[in-house]
Amino acid sequence: MNILRCKADAEDIVQDTFLKWLSAEKEHIQNTKAYLIKSVTNNALNHLSSLKKKKIDYLDSFQLPEIFVKLKESDFAHMDLEMELSKALAIVNHKLEPLEKAVYLLKEALGFEYEELQKVLDKKQDHCRQLFFRAKKKIEQETSKLSIELSKAPHMLESFKKACTFGNASDLISELKTDIAASIRKNF
């Protein structure tokens, strides 16, 4: 995950490595853990090299103006994911109240349990359940495709990606709490 920066690619690499390991001659493997770690690392690096080569081949097939030459240096592998994530967070930001948003993102996206939500948000578990149910219902009712930019909370996308990628939700929780506090102040 640290090498590829893409959960789906990382899962594929681990699965491929595991399948190769199942068919490998294990009597030649002295340290299984080291073998698997090295295999996953090598497969991830090979995957990145393959993506880079495909990107270069694709871009070299066009006669690009000088302005676009710098784009060759960019990583296009996850641009679609970035746009989809930005759009999803924009919809969540637009449709949900701050407390609903906090419960929904922490529960649905990061897998927090209601007990953990109670501690983090200082709300009762039953209240968190109700907020989650309400938020989920609002999101499910969303049928139109909104093209709202996540300009209201520009750092939320980065915090959310960091929480998903590295499992560190502290920045996201901090931003969600700030959003909740601002909403409370605005209503009084």
The count of other CB atoms within 10 Å of the CB of residue 56 is 11
The pTM of this model reads 0.45
User: Residue 150 class from Cβ within 10 Å (0-12 exposed, 13-18 middle, 19+ buried)?
Assistant: buried
Helices (H), the chain: 7-23, 32-60, 66-69, 79-95, 98-104, 114-121, 125-141, 154-166, 170-187
**pLDDT tens digits along 2-39:** 888 888 888 889 999 888 888 888 888 888 888 889 99
**Following DSSP, what letter does each residue of 46-84 receive, concatenated?**
HHHHHHHHHHHHHHHTS---HHHHGGGGS--TTHHHHHH
Interatomic CA distance for residues 181 and 99, integer angstroms: 9
Enumerate the domain spans of the chain: 7-73, 79-187
Name the residue among 19, 4, 7, 14 with its Cα closest to residue 40: 14
Interatomic CA distance for residues 84 and 91, integer angstroms: 11
Q: In this model, does residue 112 exceed pLDDT 70?
A: yes
Least confident of 27-31, 40-44, 65-69, 93-97: 65-69
Q: In this model, does residue 73 exceed pLDDT 70?
A: no
Looking at residue 42, its pLDDT comes to 92
